[in-house]
Amino acid sequence: MRGGYGSGEHGTLAERAAAARPAPVATGSTTPRAHTPARHCLVGGQPALLVEWRQGERGWEGRVISVLWLDAAGWAVVERWLPAEDIAPA
C-alpha cells in the first residue's frame, strides 16, 4: 500500500511537509516571524494546539484547541481556556 513514507511523484513525506509550511512574514526586524502563534502542546498528556495567552485573575491562561471524545457526541473539537500549569510543551 502506498502511504506517506515512500517517495513517489509528489516527493517524500518530509519534502511535502516542508513545502506545506507557511513562508515567514517580514516584520521589519532581522528575525522573520511565522504566520501563526499557534503551538503544539500537551494537556493531560493528550496533544492539543495552544493558540493564545492571556493574563487572568489567577495568573496566565492559555486558549487550547483539542479533539476530545465526548460520550454523547463522539469526537468533537473543543476550545477552552486553561491555567498555564495545565499546559505542557509538546
Contact between residue 64 and residue 82 where contact means Cβ atoms under 8 Å apart: yes
C-alpha to C-alpha distance for 20 and 51, rounded to whole angstroms = 19
* pTM for this model (two decimals): 0.58
The verdict on residue 43 lying in a domain is yes
**Which pLDDT score is estimated for 1?**
41
Going from the C-alpha of 60 to that of each of 34, 49, 56, the distances in angstroms are 23, 16, 6
28 within some domain? no
Torsion of CA 32, 4, 51, 85, to 10 degrees: -110
**Parent domain of 63:** 35-89
| Domain annotation covers residue 58 | yes
* pLDDT digits 0-9 by tens, 19-57: 555 555 555 666 666 578 899 999 999 999 999 999 989
Where residue 81 falls among pLDDT bands split at 50, 70, 90?
Answer: very high
> Domains in the chain: how many in total?
1
Q: Is residue 24 part of a domain?
A: no
Q: Which three cell numbers stand for residue 85?
A: 500549569
